[in-house]
Chain A
Amino acid sequence: MSRTYLGEFEELVLLAVALLQQHPTGAYGVTIADELQQRTHRTTSVTGVHVVLYRLEEKGLVGSELGGATLARGGRRKRLFTLTAAGQQVLREMRQLRMGFWEALPTPFFS
C-alpha cells in the first residue's frame, strides 16, 4: 500500500489540526495540546505535539505559516498549521478504512 503510515498520536494531532483550523484561534501548539488533553484526558506536552506536527509537515500532510504574536508569548510568533489536500485525503482514507471494519462487524457486538 502506498498510503502514508500514521501512528495513533499522529492521527489524533492531524484530526485536531483539521478541527482547530476552523476556529478563530487557529491550530498551533498550545491549542492542539489543549484540545487533545480535553478529549483524551492524557497529559500532552507542547514539545511532543510540536515534534509530531513537524513530522506531519515533513510528510506533507500539514502546511504552516508564522504569525499572531501576542503579549503572553513575549512577542513571539506562533506557527499556525493548516491541513493540506494530502492531509485531508489521508484522514478520509483512514475513516473509510475504519468504517469498512465496523460495517463488517456483526451487530450483536454492540449490545
Chain B
Amino acid sequence: MNKSLFDPTPQPQRRTSARPPRWADRLLSWLTPTDLLEELQGDLHEQFAQQVGQVGSWRARFWYGLEALKVIRPYYLRRRVASLANRQKEPFPKRRATTRPYFTPEYPSPSLLHPDMIRNYVKIAWRTLWKNKLFSLVNILSLSLSMAVGVILFTGLKATFDTDQFHPKLNQLVRILTQETTEGVQTNWATAPLPLATQLGSVSLVEKTVKVGLAGKHNLQTDKGDVPIDLKFSEPSFFDVFGFNLLSGNAQSLTNNPTTLFLTQKTAKKLFGNTNAVGQTVQFEKLGYFTVGGIIQDPPLETHLPIEAMLSIRAAELLEKKGAIPTSSQDWGGFKSSAIYARLQSEGNVEQLNATLQHYTRTLDKSHLQFLAQPIEEITPGKIDLKNNPHAGTSWEDVKTQLVIILSLTLLAAFNYISLALARAFSRAQEVGVRKTIGATRGQVIGQFLMESTLVALLALAFTVPCVTVLAHYIPDMDDVTFSWDIALVVSLITYALITGLVAGALPAWLLSAFEPIQVLRKMKNIKLFRGVAVYKALIVVQFSVTILFMILVVIVADYDRKNKAIIRSTVPSNVLTLDLKGEHYQNLQTELSQLSQVEKTLATNWYYEPLKLGKDSVTINDKTLAIHYVSIDPKAIETEGIRLLAGQNFPETMPQRTEQYVLVNEAAATLLASKSETLVGQNLLLDSASVQVIGILPNELIGQQRPLLYRYLPQEITTLTIKIKPDTELEAIKAIQSVWKEHFPQKTANLYNLKAYRYSGEINGEISGEMEILGGSALIVMIIAALGILGIASYSVETRTKELGVRKILGANNIKLVWIVTKNFGLLMLLAGLIGVPAGLFCGDLLRKELGSYLDLGLINISIGFISVALVGLLTVLSQTIRAGQIEPVKVLKAE
C-alpha cells in the first residue's frame, strides 16, 4: 500500500453549523472498526459537505446523524467486536487529534499499556524526577506527610478487620444476642442470660458453650493504692473455644478452685512488675482474696472480648450469694452482665441455630426476650446497633467515614502536586511539543505524566510507612493497636498510593497534554498556557489561610494552657494530701486525723476527686431558670486554701446540717445570673425548689474549671479528705494517716496521695495536653505542607525569571532590589491569606471560647503571633529560594540570547 502524502491540513472551519454533529462522529468512532474509520468518516464528511450545499446545514446534520446510525449493521459490528477483542485494550481511545502528527508513523503506535511502553514511561519518569531533585523531594515530602495520616487510618482499619481473627475455627463461633421487647420497644443486647447456656448445651448443633460473666471494674488493693481491674468470670471451655492461650496454670483449676485468678501478661506486669505472679495472693475490694493460678497470653490481635483478669463461674456464684455482685448466673433477668458464646458443629449452622433459638424465647415480668446467634466475625466491624457491646470497636458506619476522610486527605495531598506541576508547566511544555511532534498521542503523553505522579506517590509511600511504624509508638492510642502485615494491607496501601498519584497527576496531565506542538515550539513567551494561570496562587492562599487559622488556634490554646498551669502552680500547695473516702463517713476520721501532730488542717470536699463529681441543678432567679453545675464544699476549705472572695463572705462557722441556707457562686455563674455580679450577694435563689441565699462570690479558677459553678454544702456528697500537713513532715504524716485509716476501715486500703505531685504532675512538668498535641500536630503538618508547596513555586519563579532579572541587573538594579522583585508577589499572597485566615481564626477561636470559657485570650497579641509566625515561616521559605535572584550573573544567564 502506498503511503500517500497529504498536506498537514489546517483545521476545517470551526463553524459548528457547517460541521457534522459531534455525537454522530463520536458514535461513528465507537462503532466503526478502527481500520475502516478514516475512509468511512471521510466519505460521510464529504457527502455532508455536498448536502449542506443542497439542503442546508440543519437537514444535512440530521441526515448525517441518520447516516451514522446506519453503521449499526452486522457487518461493521462484527468486525468492530473482533478488532476490540484482538487488540489489547486502549484506555484512551485515539480521538481525532486536534493537531495531527507531523509525519504519519509508518507503523501504528503501540497500545498505551504495552509492556514496552510502560517500561519506557517508568524510565523517563525516573529520569525526570532525578533531573529535578528539589521538586521531586518537595513533592515526595509533602505527599508523604498527608499520606501519613492516611496510612495511620489504614492501619486502624486493618486492626478493625483483624479483630478476633486469631480464634480457631472462627467460622463456627457465635455469640448469643438478646432481643428485649419492653412495652413495644425493642432493644438488642450483646449479652445473654446464663441459664440459657445450660439449655443450649443440649442442642445438637452446638458443640460447646462458654459462659462469660462480665463483672466490670473492681478495685484490686495494693500498697500503692487501688488498681481498677476489669474482671470476667468464665469456665475452662473458654480456653478451648477461644484463641486465648494459658502460658502457665491449668484451665481446669477454674472449676476446681473458686479462689483461682487468671491474669493476662499485661495485667500481671502492671501489678507485679517482672516478678513471677503465679502463686501470689491479691485482694479485691468487697470480693475477698484470690490466688493467681495462671497467666493468659496477651492476644496477638484486637479482640471484642479483652481480658484483664478472670475468675471462675463458681466464684461468681459464691460471690452472688454473699451479695458482693448482682445476681446473674441463675437469673434470666440478669442478662445484661453476662455473655454466652458457642462453637457450632459445622460452619453453616447459624441459620439453623437461629431457628432453634426461637424455642427458647422467654417472657419476664415486663419484657420479652428473644435470642439470636451472631457469628463472631460480624462483631467487628459491627452492622447492628447493640447495647453492652463496649469493645466491638468500629462499626461499618465508622469504616465508611474513615474511608471518606482518607479520600479527602488524598485530595489535600494532591493540591501541592497540582500547584507545583502547573507552575512548572512552561518547562514541560517544550517536552510535550517534541514528544507530540515525534508522534506521541495525547494518551501517551498523559500516561507519561501519570506515571511520574504515581512514581512520586509510591516513593512517598515508601518513605511514609517506615516513619509511621516508628512514630506509632509515640502517638497515644496508636501503640496498642495490633494488626498484622499481610498482602491485603500491602495491596490496599499501594492502591492508596496509586490513587493518590492518579488524582494528583490527573489535572496537570490533562492540561499539559493538550499543548499543541506548533504553538509551544514556535514561541514560548506568547502562549497563554491555561485560562486559569492563577490556580496555583489560589492554592497558596488557601493553604496559608488554613495554616494561619490553625496557628491562631494553637497560639490561643497554648496561651490558655500556660495561664492555667501558672494558676495551678501558684495556687496548689505542695504540703496537701488527699485521702479517698471510699464512701465512708468522714466525721470521726477527720477529728482523729486533725489531732495528729503532723496535720495542720483537714477539710472535706468533693473537689479534687476525679472525675470531678458535678451535679446539676436548676436555678431560678428573677423568673430566669438556668441549669448550673454544683460542687459540694466544706466551709473550711475556702479558708484553708486562702482564697479571697470577690464579694460577700464565706459560709458561717456553724452551718445548719439539715437544710441548706446559703450557697456560694463563682464569677462565671454570677455573671450568668445577674447583670451586675456584685448585686447578686444577698439575693435569694430558688435552687430546685428550696430557696437559698447567695452569700459570696468566688473567683473562677478555683478548680481550674471555667464553667459556671455553685458551691453548696452537702456533707453526704463529700468524697475526699484534703489534709494540710506541716511542712517537711510528709513521710511521717503518711504513715500516721494510714495507720489511723487502718484502725477505722481495716477492709480497705487507703488511697492517699500528695495533691500536687499526684493530681497535677502533668500540668506542673509541662506535659502537653491531648488537644494541644492534636492541634499543634495538625498545625505543624499543614504548615509544612504549605511551606513545601511555596518552596517549590518560589524556586520555580526565580528560575523562569532569570533572564528578566539578568537584564534588570545590567540596567542597574541592585541585589536587594532583585530579591524584592521576586519576593514581593509572595508577600502579597501571604497578606491575602492573612485576610482570610485571621477572621477565620477569630471565628473558630470564638467558638472555642464558648467551649472553654472566657479565659481564652483573643487579643491582638495572640492573633498577631499566630499570623506573623506563619507569614515569617512562609516568607523565609520563599526567601531561601529567591535569595538566589541576587546572585544572578547576567553574563551567564544571558549568554545564549
Contacts and interface: CB of A to CB of B under 8 A. Distances in A.
Interface in B687-708: none
**9 closest Cβ contacts across the A-B interface?**
A76-B42, A29-B43, A67-B4, A73-B42, A75-B9, A69-B6, A72-B49, A79-B39, A47-B70
Interface stretch (A4-12, A48-56, A103-111): A48-56
Dominant SS among interface residues on chain B: helix
A46 B36 contact: no
Interface string B1-28: 1101010010010000000000000000
A77 B38 contact: yes
Given A65-B2, A75-B100, A46 B40 contact: yes
Contact of A29 (B6, B39, B75): B39
A78 B42 CA distance: 7
Contacts of B41: 74, 76
B67 to A, nearest CB: 6
A78 B340 CA distance: 80
Interface in A58-77: 65-77
Interface in B25-54: 36, 38-47, 49-50
Nearest to B1: A65
B290 interface: no
B104 to A, nearest CB: 10
A13 interface: no
Given A45-B67, A77-B38, 16 more contacts: A46-B43, A47-B44, A47-B73, A55-B75, A66-B4, A67-B4, A69-B9, A71-B12, A72-B45, A73-B46, A74-B9, A75-B6, A76-B45, A78-B39, A78-B43, A79-B39
B39 A77 contact: yes
Interface residues of A, number: 27
Contact of B46 (A55, A70, A79): A70
A76 B73 contact: no
20 contacts: A28-B39, A33-B47, A45-B67, A47-B73, A50-B43, A51-B76, A55-B75, A65-B1, A65-B4, A66-B38, A67-B4, A69-B9, A71-B12, A72-B46, A73-B45, A74-B12, A74-B96, A75-B6, A76-B39, A77-B4
B42 A77 contact: yes
B740 interface: no
A95 B698 CA distance: 122
Contact of A68 (B4, B70, B96): B4
B645 interface: no
Interface residues of B, number: 27
A46 B4 contact: no
B71 interface: yes
Interface of B: 1-2, 4, 6, 9, 12, 36, 38-47, 49-50, 67, 70-71, 73, 75-76, 96, 100
Contacts of B70: 45, 47-48
A51 B40 CA distance: 10
Most chain-B Cβ atoms within 10 A of its Cβ — which of A29, A46, A74?
Answer: A74
A19 interface: no
A90 interface: no
Most chain-B Cβ atoms within 10 A of its Cβ — which of A48, A70, A72, A75?
Answer: A75
A30 interface: yes
A69 B8 CA distance: 10
A46 B47 contact: yes
Contacts of B45: 72-74, 76
Contacts of B40: 29, 46-47, 50
B666 to A, nearest CB: 83
A45 B76 CA distance: 14
Contacts of B67: 45-47
Contacts of A51: 73, 75-76
A100 to B, nearest CB: 33
Contacts of B12: 71-72, 74-75
